[in-house]
């Protein structure tokens, strides 16, 4: 008489398109990202399928499924945070540009963690993965800025009482060191235009662009500064501008070169009619539409 076998007979799939296979340990399983994941015993294939459908998004994204289903969800925190910041834009306390950056951060964070993930279920491992999955092309400066936005989001959640306790981001979720920042700057070297290059640009530029270039090299104004520059901040008779920083409101006063004054007068003389009354005071408007060169808006 032979020895009795203890090997169980594997069940067949309940229907052809059933997404799981019967594993030898008596559970329904699925190989995801090179590893088997288990979702329930053979005897209850419906429960296993239900668990698989609920968890697959997390496994395929490389994160553990939440162990809780209650509490504040990631997308609720992000949405309430952005609503509060949108109010600050309406009040003039933060810029459209900064709000747009916060919104992009929120989208990236919800995609990484899962929008329906309970915030209290997040661990330091989630934040480690978040940092590793940021674009490879980001330098330490971009990483520092993004990290500060994430910290601001979760601190806001705790300060407003949406979270009962601070979220632990972990020891690795910290800014790049000053040593790393210095090394990157040293490797890149100075980013400068030569005198000949600037003269070539000025020789080829049309009147509004010539004035923009001169404002950049004369006063250090950037693209957004130039786009927002109001006529009332210019005293072309005395040769000065008093345009404060759009983001911080810090006052600025800069003497204008005679070449800059002449270029500004020519640009203003040929300035097209504004399409939007809000742009009536801007120095530079596009010829095609009569709008500012840089416009930042929400989609409400």
Tokens linked to 244: 């404060």
Does residue 5 lie within any of the structural domains?
Answer: no
* Residue 55: predicted pLDDT: 85
Q: What percent of the chain lies above the pLDDT cut of 90?
A: 54
pLDDT at 7: 60
d(CA 48, CA 28): 7
Residue 203 lies in a domain: yes
Quote the CA–CA distance of 296 and 97 in Å, as a whole number: 6
Residues 179 and 158 in one domain: yes
User: Dihedral sign, CA of 68, 69, 71, 74?
Assistant: positive
- Residue 300: CB partners within 8 Å, gap ≥ 6? none
Q: Give the pLDDT score at 67.
A: 64
Give the full edge-to-edge strand order of the sheet including 21-22: 21-22, 27-32, 35-41
Mean pLDDT throughout 182-192?
Answer: 83
Tokens of 119: 């915030």
- Over range 232-236, report the average pLDDT: 93
Among residues 153, 188, 223, the one where a domain terminates is 188
Handedness of CA 230, 235, 237, 240 (dihedral sign): negative
Same domain, 179 and 110: yes
pLDDT score recorded for residue 216: 93
pLDDT at 300: 43
- Do 125 and 221 share a domain, yes or no? no
Instruction: Using CB atoms within 10 Å of the CB of residue 211, give its burial: 0 to 12 exposed, 13 to 18 middle, 19+ buried.
Output: buried
Mean pLDDT score, 147-171: 94
- Looking at residue 3, what is its pLDDT? 52
Q: How many residues are recorded in the chain?
A: 300
On whether residue 166 sits in a domain, the answer given is yes
Which DSSP helix (H) or strand (E) runs through 223? helix 223-228
Q: Are 32 and 110 in the same domain?
A: no
* % of the chain with per-residue pLDDT over 70: 94
19-59, pLDDT tens digit by residue? 999 988 888 999 998 889 989 888 889 988 988 998 888 88
Are residues 180 and 199 both part of a single domain? Answer: no
DSSP code of residue 73: B
Same domain for 175 and 271:
no
User: Does 284 reside within a domain?
Assistant: no
For residue 144, pLDDT beyond 60 = yes
Q: Which domain holds residue 37?
A: 21-60
Burial class (CB in 10 A: 0-12, 13-18, 19+), 202: middle
134 domain-assigned: yes
Q: Report the SS3 class of residue 240.
A: strand
Judgement on whether residues 79 and 171 belong to the same structural domain of the protein: yes
Last residue of a domain, one of 188, 223, 258: 188
215 and 245 together in one domain: yes
Q: Is the pLDDT of residue 296 over 80?
A: no
Q: Is the pLDDT assigned to residue 94 strictly greater than 90?
A: no
Range from 3-7, 20-24, 39-43, 276-280 carrying the lowest mean pLDDT: 3-7
Mark whether 112 and 41 lie in a shared domain.
no
Note the pLDDT of residue 215: 95
Is it the case that residue 110 has pLDDT exceeding 50? yes
CB atoms within 10 A of CB 255: 12
| Same domain? 145 vs 55 | no
Domain assignment present for residue 100? The answer is: yes
Tally of structural domains, the chain: 3
Q: Which of 198, 172, 158, 177 is nearest to 72 (CA)?
A: 158
Residues whose CB is less than 8 angstroms from the CB of residue 36 and which lie 6 or more positions away in sequence, other chains included: 23, 29, 30
Q: Is residue 9 part of a domain?
A: no
- Rounded to whole angstroms, the Cα distance separating 280 from 230 reads 9
Last residue of a domain, one of 134, 154, 188: 188
Give the per-residue pLDDT at 244.
Answer: 87
Given this model, what pLDDT does residue 102 score? 95
170 assigned to some structural domain = yes
Alpha helices per DSSP H over 27-134: 45-60, 74-90, 96-113, 124-132
Q: Kindly report the CATH number assigned to the domain that includes residue 270.
A: 1.10.443.10
Q: pTM higher than 0.85 for the full model? A: no
């Amino acid at each position: 008489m032979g020895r009795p076998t203890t090997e169980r007979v594997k069940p067949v799939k309940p229907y052809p398109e059933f997404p799981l296979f019967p594993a030898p340990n008596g559970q329904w399983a699925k190989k995801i990202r090179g590893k088997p994941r288990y979702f329930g015993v053979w005897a209850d294939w419906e429960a296993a399928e239900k668990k698989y459908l609920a968890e697959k998004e997390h496994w395929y994204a490389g994160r553990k499924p939440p162990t809780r289903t209650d509490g504040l969800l990631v997308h609720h925190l992000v949405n309430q945070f952005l609503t509060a910041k949108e109010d600050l834009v309406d009040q003039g306390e933060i810029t459209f540009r900064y709000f747009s950056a916060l919104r992009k951060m929120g989208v990236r964070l919800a995609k990484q963690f899962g929008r329906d993930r309970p915030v209290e279920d997040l661990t330091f491992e989630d934040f480690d993965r978040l940092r590793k999955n940021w674009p490879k092309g980001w330098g330490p400066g971009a990483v520092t800025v993004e990290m500060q936005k994430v910290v601001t989001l979760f601190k806001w959640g705790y300060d407003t009482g949406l979270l009962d306790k601070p979220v632990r981001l972990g020891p690795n979720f910290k800014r790049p060191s000053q040593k790393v920042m210095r090394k990157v700057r040293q490797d890149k070297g100075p980013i400068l235009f030569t005198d000949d290059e600037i003269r070539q640009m000025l020789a080829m530029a049309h009147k509004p662009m010539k004035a923009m270039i001169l404002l950049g090299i004369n006063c250090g104004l950037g693209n957004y500064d130039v786009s927002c520059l109001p006529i009332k901040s210019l005293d072309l008779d005395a040769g000065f501008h008093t345009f404060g920083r759009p983001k911080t409101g810090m006052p600025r006063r800069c003497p204008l070169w005679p070449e800059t004054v002449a270029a500004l007068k020519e640009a203003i003389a040929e300035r097209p009619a504004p399409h939007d009354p809000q742009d009536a005071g801007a120095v530079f408007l596009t010829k095609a539409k009569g709008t500012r060169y840089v416009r930042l808006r929400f989609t409400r």
